[in-house]
Structures are given as structure tokens and as C-alpha cells.
Amino acid sequence: MKEQQIESDIRLFIGETYGSNSTAFVKGDEVLLVDGMASRRDAEELRERIEGGMGKRVRFIIATHYFSDHLAALRLFPRAEIIAHRNYLHTFTTERHRSEEEEANFVEPTMLVDDSLLVRWGRYTLDVFHNPGHTMSTLSVEVPEADLLMTGDTVVGNIAYIAYAAPEMLRQALRRLQRRGRGRLVSSHMGVREGRAVEHALCYLDRLEANARTAWQDEESGDSVLRIPLEECLSPGLEPSPFEALFHGRNLESIVGRHLMRKAEARP
């Protein structure tokens, strides 16, 4: 497991499985977590680092969305209150690509958010807001005092993942993040990055759509869509990662399977 210190009292733990992460906000002898790892092994190491290494106990866990690759630690902190959006069950029951171990990660939340929640935790204010796009239960978290924006999986690397989303709905979610204008960003995978990752995800979505429209015109079967290179959809100057390539491939399959991006959509 990797660890990054965002501030003296904010630590980001990055697991081995999928690079799923968990962010710890420390207040005295208590911790508020955002997200909870993908595997039992990563979750157990997270518990050891927090309870054994730091000598803290977890009081709250905010789930940015209820996909199983972010829920593994929920069972390991039974005294913690679990905060999720009220649409959490829709997200969990519609998830694909999960293992039996990941399915067993499910734990009912104890506190439900409808639109927004303001949490004052130590010297930080966590502005938790509903940001549907990637899933219908996605919560984003802005932490002004840390110049930090937590996006869940609305941003995946430097791209966006449309397999569970209407592209325009995801675009609107990204724009809501963009308006927050924060300099640092933590998504639910990998480490802390610059806030402009939101702009990169918007660029990816626009270029993917343009390439898909052209590909549909070339071939009605969708085979041309499946061959769209990731490099042609990234912001100029960015190098593709294997992680992004995986989700780009799923995006192409979703475009063909759902007959998306055949023509330009009207945008607000």
C-alpha cells in the first residue's frame, strides 16, 4: 500500500487492488474516511495503519458511490457511521464486473444524504454534494481549507467512464466539479493530482464523442467505434496509462452496445 500526505492531518492510502484509495481526515484521536478500498487485504492493511500505526479510531466513512471496489473497509470499522447517498442501492445492484469477494463487501449505510451535507471536522469543512453522472449515487466532496476536490469516479485518471452514465449527464457532473475551481483533486483511484484533471476528462469526453460520430458514419456495425485509439481522445500532450486503456475499452463497448454518440446532442 502506498501513502501520500496531503496535509499534516490528511493522509491518502492507495491500495494494491485497482489503485482504489481511502482518504483519512484526522481530528484528535478520531478519523473520518472517504471511501474504503477494493479488497479485504487492502482494507486490513488500512485498518492496521490507522488503528495500529496512528492509534486512531474511525468514526465516519463517506462513500462517494456504492460500487464494491470502494467498500471493502466498511465491515472492518463496525463502530463507524457510514454516509452514502440515498440512491446507494441502485448503484450497487446495477454494478457489473465484480468478483464474489467484492460483492461480499456490501454493508448498509447508516446515514443517507439527499442533496448535500456540511461536515465540520477539525480544521476542515467537508462540503458533501450530490453529483450524479458516473452513478446516480455519486457524492463529491469539496474541502476549501485544503484546496481539495474529491470526485469519486466521475474522473478516472484523465478520462471519464460512461458505462453507467448518459454522456451528457456525466458532462454536467464534470462541469459542476470544474466550477469548484480547486487546485488539488483526489478521485477514488490512484493518488492526489492537479485539479485540471477535470478539464482533461471533459476534453476526453468531447473528443471521444467526435471520434465516435465519425466512426458510426464509416461503419454501421460499430466495428470502427471499437477501434478508436485512446490516444486520439486524450488532451494533447498526455500519455495513456494501462488503467485508462481498460476503461476506454469499456467505454467503446458501451457506445456500441447502447448505440450512443451517433449524432451531436443539444447541450445547455
Which pLDDT score is estimated for 266?
47
User: What residue ranges define each of the domains in the chain, with the CATH number in brackets?
Assistant: 2-152 (3.60.15.10)
Q: Does the pLDDT value for residue 15 go beyond 90?
A: yes
Residue 264 has a pLDDT of 57
> pLDDT of 220-239, one tens digit each?
888 999 999 999 999 999 99
Mean pLDDT for the stretch of residues 233-254: 96
- Residue range 42-68: mean pLDDT, rounded: 98
pTM of the model: 0.93
- Amino acid in position 155: V
Q: How many CB atoms lie within 10 A of CB 35?
A: 30
Report the chain's mean pLDDT, rounded to a whole number. 95
Closest CA relative to residue 173, chosen from 146, 214, 120, 135: 135
Specify the DSSP class assigned to residue 118.
E
Model confidence at 265, in pLDDT bands (50, 70, 90)? low
DSSP 8-state class, residue 145: G
Any residues with CB less than 8 A from the CB of 117 and at least 6 apart, and which?
Answer: 83, 128
- pLDDT band, very low/low/confident/very high, at 60 (cuts 50, 70, 90): very high
Overall average pLDDT of the 63-79 stretch? 96
Helix, strand and coil percent figures for the chain, each rounded to 5: 35, 25, 40
Strand order from edge to edge, sheet including 193-194: 116-121, 124-130, 139-143, 148-152, 184-187, 193-194
Please state which of the ranges 204-213, 217-226, 242-251 shows the lowest mean pLDDT: 217-226
d(CA 204, CA 209): 8
Cell of 21: 484509495
Assign 150 a pLDDT band (cuts: 50, 70, 90): very high
Q: Which triple of cell numbers denotes residue 64?
A: 462517494
A 10 A CB-CB count for 268 gives: 6
